[in-house]
Amino acid sequence: MKPINVGLLGIGTVGGGTFTVLSRNEAEITRRAGRPIRIVAVADKNTELANRLAGGKARITDDAFAVVNDPEVDVVVELIGGYGVAKELVLKAVENGKHVVTANKALLATHGNEIFAAAQKKGVVVAFEAAVAGGIPIIKAVREGLSANRIQWIAGIINGTTNFILSEMRDKGLPFADVLKEAQRLGYAEADPTFDIEGVDAAHKITILSALAFGIPMQFESAHIEGISKLEADDIKYAEQLGYRIKLLGITKWTPAGVELRVHPTLIPARRLIANVEGAMNAVLVQGDAVGATLHYGKGAGAEPTASAVIADLVDVARVFDADHEHRVPYLAFQPDAVVNTPILPIGEVETSYYLRLRVEDKPGVLADITRILADNGISIDAMVQREPGEGEEQTDIIILTHLVREKGVDAAIAKIEALPVVKRKVIRLRLENLG
């Protein structure tokens, strides 16, 4: 059978891994795909590196558009990243009738609606398993494996950099800044780690999963995003004492009022499996009405884990290469005419539980004032701990865990609590999810 000819855009870490795995497992991949899959053209600004990695097995160019316009190329694999030229290249590939495989979560989260509409019109595949959670086949699980279910919510540790940092902060009791430097030294964090530590990378990924889970368009601009850069080691310690671990979670939930789409540090009961995912590993918990909870765990980044997902998409393309596009798996799990514009809930309307830490004067009546404010705002206390002040200290920490409450009620209560003269710093507020 005619081979599938692939044009590779970018031969960095993932591109190099893709070349390596395709070569090493060529026979096995051909058996699965039903035809050979071969990389015939590579575009990269570093042509010296490309020539070294390709080993004479593919044409090398520094012009990505030359690959996209090459009539011999059947499938374009986009591993450049970013929003700019990557978008132009993907749309041009689609316009030229070529299938596309991409690992670019930022591109899909922000421009996926446009790209999928163009691909639908042209009848080509846009596959993106590698865009979320690296080597974990979570896209296929949500889009196909769980298609019998009404998915109720997804919660994921989907950024390895932040999970490594939080694991180190908990294990060693070190402040965020010190652990970030160590993560950069070890190669877990970029020189500019902003997208990771401020939650943007995770928000791109949970946006994609939300669209797949609920049959809605990509709505990244509506996501609530908080990172871990302001998280304090004291809160990780207090959470541990209360039986919780703090993880940066991407969360999306269906509610009758709309869809929740949020990324933030979250307390999770330590007994949950996902709370025990450590280091740079990823895990995604999906709750379906029929299957219950399923946990998907593995390496979320790296050359060969991500290459595994890229090549899985190439195998899928090979299998449906000659199929009528109307009978392929839909891009966003639901048929294109069944995608609905369910609104994303503003964060103030989200209902969850909360961890509050208050720095207060150690004097009588303080606790009564605080609990009265909480009660006036409809906030019920689940647990409360008051740290014993050290010798000579005049201030102490009060830690409060709440029952379920709407966020705008917590905001109102915090504003009143911070206005009390006995409260000596801004209230630390973290969200809590039981994931039961």
**Pick from 108, 35, 107: which is nearest to 75 by CA?**
35
Q: Is 202 left (phi over 0), alpha (psi -120 to 50) or beta?
A: alpha
d(CA 414, CA 279): 33
Q: Is 392 left (phi over 0), alpha (psi -120 to 50) or beta?
A: left
DSSP 140-199: HIIIIITTTS-EEEEEEE--HHHHHHHHHHHHH---HHHHHHHHHHHTSS-SS-HHHHTT
**Pick from 98, 112, 35: which is nearest to 64 by CA?**
98
Phi/psi at 102 (nearest 5 deg)?
-140, 150
| Alpha carbon distance, N-terminus to C-terminus of the chain | 49
Q: Are the beta carbons of 98 and 204 closer than 8 angstroms?
A: no
Burial class of residue 149, CB neighbours in 10 A (0-12, 13-18, 19+): middle
**Pick from 171, 199, 168: which is nearest to 181 by CA?**
168
Active-site annotation holder among 87, 105, 205, 247: 205
Q: How many CB atoms lie within 10 A of CB 249?
A: 28
Q: At what angle do helices 26-33 and 303-319 cross, to 10 degrees?
A: 30
426 is catalytic: no
Catalytic positions, please?
A: 205
